[in-house]
């Protein structure tokens, strides 16, 4: 059995999933094609036709992957938003990951998730946007991500939207978020294919417009750091650290990422992040 070529793949941003199309040939030169799906629900293998040869090809592929050592490689990614460079690869079967610049002075934050007041709980339970159609942005406002992320995404999204509506005195959609973001010096670029960037844009505008503080460069940076931390929590989207405070926020998330499993946990994590960045809702 020979497996060859770089697998073609496509991504589903709503599920952070990958679909690989594998072609295998046997000793007689006969080709068999099957698909490998990798996503939050696990692995699945299927073929365009169900026969013993295709099943054998898939089984051989699985065995090959289990036994093969990673090939030596090194790749570099640079995130313009954070100015951070990620170097990752494998050498002699050992995989590695380096972040440049690396914040070596980060201490593990032992901060506990805060208890919630009844008012904080009641506030999110009474939010109702059913009267807003959002026909152009259903992929963001109506996609609650409940089958994908442990973080209760609609709680954070809708709370921020409510605050913006109250502060600005009008209904806020993604187009308004983009306009405000540009006006305030952020760089909002997103589409239905990049919902994590839409969350970053919403969070930056929310933090800048609806929390107390002077319009300083440091606070502006904190708004972006806070937004990227939330995007990582919801979508698993990590692009490095903007500064030491951002690194502390990411380290804090790593402590609690497996302990967030409910709407209440999400709110407690949200308010803990606000405290870490010294944000106070108006």
108, part of any domain: no
Say whether both 131 and 267 belong to one domain.
Answer: yes
Say whether both 86 and 210 belong to one domain.
Answer: no
Of 264, 9, 278, 275, nearest to 117 by C-alpha is 264
CA 260 to chain centre: 15
- Return the pLDDT at 6: 39
- Return the pLDDT at 220: 95
Percent of the chain residues past pLDDT 70, beyond the cut? 85
111, part of any domain: no
Cα end-to-end distance, the chain, whole Å: 65
Question: In this model, does residue 79 exceed pLDDT 80?
Answer: no
What are the pLDDT digits (tens) for 132-173? 999 999 999 999 988 788 899 999 999 999 999 999 999 999
172, part of any domain: yes
Mean pLDDT of 83-107: 74
The dihedral sign for the CA sequence 264, 140, 222, 246: positive
281, part of any domain: no
91, part of any domain: yes
Question: In this model, does residue 13 exceed pLDDT 60?
Answer: no
Distances (CA, A) of 240 to 47, 89, 249: 38, 16, 11
Say whether both 134 and 272 belong to one domain.
Answer: yes
Three-state SS sequence of 205-249? HHHHHHECCCCCHHHHHHHHHHHHHHHHHHHCCCCCCCCHHHHHH
Say whether both 97 and 185 belong to one domain.
Answer: no
Say whether both 94 and 178 belong to one domain.
Answer: no
Laid out side by side, the sheet with 73-79 consists of: 73-79, 84-91, 94-100
Say whether both 83 and 45 belong to one domain.
Answer: no
Say whether both 74 and 123 belong to one domain.
Answer: no
Task: Count how many domains the chain has.
Answer: 3
149, part of any domain: yes
Say whether both 132 and 252 belong to one domain.
Answer: yes
- Return the pLDDT at 2: 37
Identify the domain containing residue 250 by its residue range.
Answer: 118-276
Say whether both 155 and 171 belong to one domain.
Answer: yes
Say whether both 138 and 242 belong to one domain.
Answer: yes
Say whether both 92 and 227 belong to one domain.
Answer: no
User: Strand runs (DSSP E) across the chain, as ranges?
Assistant: 2-3, 8-12, 17-25, 31-39, 42-47, 73-79, 84-91, 94-100
Give the Cα separation of 152 and 160 in Å (integer): 13
113, part of any domain: no
């Amino acid at each position: 059995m020979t497996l060859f070529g770089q697998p073609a793949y496509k991504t589903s941003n709503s599920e952070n999933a990958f679909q690989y199309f594998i072609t295998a040939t046997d000793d007689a030169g006969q080709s068999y094609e099957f698909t490998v799906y990798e996503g939050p629900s696990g692995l699945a293998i299927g073929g365009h036709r169900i026969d013993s040869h295709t099943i054998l090809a898939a089984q051989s592929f699985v065995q090959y992957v289990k036994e093969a050592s990673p090939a030596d490689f090194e790749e570099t990614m640079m995130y313009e938003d954070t100015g951070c460079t990620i170097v990752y690869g494998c050498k002699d079967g050992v995989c590695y990951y380096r972040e440049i610049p690396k914040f070596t002075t980060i201490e593990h934050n032992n901060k506990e998730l805060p208890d919630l007041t009844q008012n904080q709980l009641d506030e999110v339970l009474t939010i109702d946007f059913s009267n807003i159609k959002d026909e152009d942005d259903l992929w963001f406002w109506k996609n609650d991500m409940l089958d994908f992320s442990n973080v209760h995404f609609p709680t954070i999204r809708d709370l921020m939207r409510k605050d913006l509506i109250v502060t600005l005195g009008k209904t806020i959609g993604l187009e308004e978020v983009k306009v405000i973001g540009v006006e305030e010096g952020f760089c909002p670029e997103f589409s239905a294919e990049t919902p994590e960037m839409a969350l970053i844009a919403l969070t930056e505008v929310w933090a800048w417009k609806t929390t107390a503080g002077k319009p300083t460069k440091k606070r502006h940076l904190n708004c972006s750091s806070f937004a990227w931390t939330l995007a990582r929590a919801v979508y698993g989207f990590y692009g490095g650290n903007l500064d030491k405070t951002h690194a502390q926020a990411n380290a804090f998330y790593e402590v609690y990422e497996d302990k967030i499993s409910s709407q209440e946990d999400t709110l407690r994590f949200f308010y803990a992040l606000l405290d870490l960045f010294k944000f106070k809702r108006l």
